[in-house]
Structure 1
């Protein structure tokens, strides 16, 4: 989009200037909007982390009848009797290496069943503590994990569990009325050392500040490049 040569210098047409200005404006607005969105996400993520942290360190409350994302990591306490013969082992990777979570049904006096993640064991044949009688359990409420693990589906028929799918485990074990979530039990002393509880990882990726800075830098670079081209265009016209 240039005019004829004038003294060896190519002159930019008005259409070129208008087109370049529109492109620069679109890029600047786009990068700026993305940066602003990341700033919003940063505030949201910090608020989420603060709320979850408050739940984790709060005094335990009674478990709800049903749970949503607003209840995840809420500290709860409940009583009941373990049904060790109906426990399910689900695959786990922890600071102790690969192994299994021990998900044991806890039946309350009213007949309601809650799956309790009692903690980690290194193998299917590991010997772990199996307390009897009424128990009081304190832990963090966790949402069910339907569908299996990464690229691996649960196989109830073979008793192979790659995720903590509450509904599927309850059905496979014939547990009856079961809450739709499970509880990560806090760590308690165990004569055998297993299962190891209290291994819940509460961590939220928070890279929004870096992303925001990147988008704002790109917006500034767009302005700089536009001004440079326009300055050169002005020199061409003066020549």
Structure 2
């Protein structure tokens, strides 16, 4: 099998080995992790529908923000919106069309500063910001779901366009830095019928127990890795058979030449 030491075969083996390692140590585990994450999130959402709202302070102490173990729980809070510090989250979708997510800071009656996700508004003319209803003035009482902050993986800066601050993630930390407000980590996501809500983000329980698509993706990567190994073995075997066939043909030719030489002698 010395042919495997040729540059072309070394490159092929290296590519296959790298692909298989990526499938089994990176791609499939990442999809399995996403599956587990989504299952955990759905369980939390299901539990939130079965648990009545409680005052915010029972699940989040002042200044503590939203902890992951209470995400999606419903809470009640009273106070007033701070529309001057409002911001939009870019690159959202509503009914398969471009949209913006509206984040409006909120001061509770106890003086806590929070971010309220009022929902989505459809963009007009591509990236143009549409007109949308302002947050109500004066004291209001909200029932909302606790959410942990998103993170923009690219770390893009806040921009100002069309008269609005615009972010790339629903992130209270980024909005706090842009406005100078001491906003608590996490945010409150409004449901339909709440004061100031626009098009609420969809949240629904699920009782099916069916796996998410990430599981099938993970199994696909495992399958692709196995196919790559079997394909390499197949091509190596094919090369061996071809070389053995050529060797046998060469021996037969040598024998024929030898016999022909004897006849001539």
The answer to whether the superposition gives a TM-score over 0.5 is: yes
Matches within 5 A, 1:26-105: 29-37=17-25, 38-59=27-48, 62-63=59-60, 65-67=64-66, 70=68, 74-92=72-90, 93-96=92-95, 97-105=97-105
- Match of 2:165, SS state, is coil
Aligned residues: 218
Q: Normalising by the residue count of structure 2, what TM-score does the alignment of the two structures yield?
A: 0.63
Structure 1 spans left out of the alignment, 5+ residues? 1-13
Q: Which residue of 1 aligns with 2:145?
A: 139
Q: Structure 1, residues 17-54: CA drift from partner, whole Å, max 9, x if none?
A: 56588777656644443332344334322211111111
Matched residue of 2:148: which SS?
strand
1:169 aligns with 2:175: yes
TM-score by length of 1: 0.69
Cα RMSD after superposing both structures: 3.9
Matches within 5 A, 1:12-27: 15-16=2-3
Q: Judge conservation of contact 1:57–1:75 (CA < 8 Å) in 2.
A: no
Q: If each structure's helix is expressed as a fraction of its own residues, which one has the higher value? A: 2
**Contact 2:89/2:102, CA 8 A, preserved across alignment:** no
> In 1, Cα distance between the equivalents of 2:246 and 2:121?
75
Equivalent pair of 1:146/1:166 in contact (CA under 8 Å):
no
Where does the alignment leave 5 or more consecutive residues of structure 2 unmatched?
A: 123-128, 205-211, 250-265
Give the whole-Å Cα distance in 2 for the aligned partners of 1:102 and 1:50.
27
Secondary structure at 1:237 match in 2: helix
- Does the C-alpha gap of structure 1 residues 169 and 189 become closer, same or farther in structure 2, counting only changes over 3 Å? closer
Deviation of 1:119 after TM superposition, in Å, equals 1.5
